[in-house]
Amino acid sequence: MSILVFIEHAEGEIKKSSLEAVSYAAAMGEDVTAIALGPVDESVLKVAGKAGASKVLHAADEKLEKGLIQPYAKVIAQAMEKEGAKTLVLAKSSLGDPVAARIAAKLKAGFVSNVADLPDTSSGFTVKRSIYTGKAYANVEMTTENKIIGIKKNAVELKEDGGDASVEAFEPTLDDADFAVKITSQDKQEGEILLPEAEIVVSGGRGMKGPENWGMIEDLAKTLGAATGCSKPVSDIGWRPHHEHVGQTGVKVSPQLYVAIGISGAIQHLAGVNSSKYILVINKDEEAPFFSAADYGIVGDAFEVVPKLTEALKAAQN
């Protein structure tokens, strides 16, 4: 019996969070089949093998190009039935969660999202999910035969030592009613790294004193290939656009590295960043609360530290 993993792709690549989901399923010790929807090159899908999938089902229909909840749920449920898969694993995402909820209703499956560790099967089937914006864990027992597990970003080690997966065309049964809801257009910020997807985020707070000083944040971000973010007051005052505001009431990020510059570390800000793998804090006040959430800290004036850091990184890159 195999585990099915729904993999999302964008701009000709499988999303890293989906590859983490494949690695999670492979670590469960069963054969892993992945499923990808919409047009994408076969060579891209083969990469799922490195993370642990033996096969990728590809429903290449152009109508599945954009992530539509209803048809996606139908296709993935059909794939589960075809493969005899009782477990579906997918990355927790704005697409994955509603698709999973719909499949759960269809297949009478239990669904737990934001899972951060492998299931404990010593007595029953219990998964550990991250709650309270990463501040605590809940153990959840799943008693249904069909199970859906949504994986928290950055919680699982990505396996990269497998071979290529085989790719098999998958022809689902769909009808016009499945496409009753259409995405008519999608606008994306151009030329920037999107904050929610970024692997590295460089954020500035009120300690930056004014918008005229953001050049050094942008320079550091560009050097690191990072997206830029900010604290709420910074966007409230209009120093930075609102879509950069990180925190409880803003964007929640889960990058590999979050660099917080001149941000105090209020609980509402931390709520948006504590899923980051590593946090580096630069603050001139050694008592700033952010230091207790940091993996690395530099106590110093941002106006001295940041240009030196950027310079050193540029020198190291050359």
Chain residues that interact with ligand FAD, rule: CB under 6 A: 205-207, 231-234, 247-250, 262-264, 266, 268-269, 272, 282-285, 288, 301-303
Give the distance from CA 136 to its chain's centroid. 19
Give the distance from CA 305 to its chain's centroid. 30
- Nearest alpha carbon to residue 234 among 205, 260, 272: 205
Does 206 appear as a known binding residue?
Answer: yes
Does residue 3 contact residue 55 with C-beta atoms inside 8 Å? no
Distance of closest approach, residue 179 Cβ to ligand FAD, in angstroms? 36
Q: How far is 165 from 50, CA to CA, in rounded Å?
A: 8
Nearest residue (CB) to ligand FAD, 144 versus 248: 248
Size (the chain), residues? 318
Distance of closest approach, residue 188 Cβ to ligand FAD, in angstroms? 23
Nearest residue (CB) to ligand FAD, 98 versus 300: 300
Nearest residue (CB) to ligand FAD, 76 versus 302: 302
Does 148 appear as a known binding residue?
Answer: no
**Which region, left, alpha or beta, applies to residue 133 given φ > 0 means left and ψ of -120 to 50 means alpha?**
left
Nearest residue (CB) to ligand FAD, 132 versus 179: 132
DSSP state for residue 290 in the 8-state scheme:
G
Distance of closest approach, residue 219 Cβ to ligand FAD, in angstroms? 16
**What values do phi and psi take at 143, rounded to 5?**
-110, 0
Number of H helices, E strands in the chain: 8, 16
Distance of closest approach, residue 12 Cβ to ligand FAD, in angstroms? 33
DSSP state for residue 35 in the 8-state scheme:
E
Does residue 5 contact residue 89 with C-beta atoms inside 8 Å? yes
Does 269 appear as a known binding residue?
Answer: yes
Residue type, 164: D
Does 263 appear as a known binding residue?
Answer: yes
Does 122 appear as a known binding residue?
Answer: no
Nearest residue (CB) to ligand FAD, 23 versus 264: 264
Does 283 appear as a known binding residue?
Answer: yes
Distance of closest approach, residue 240 Cβ to ligand FAD, in angstroms? 11
Binding-site members for FAD are: 206, 262-269, 283
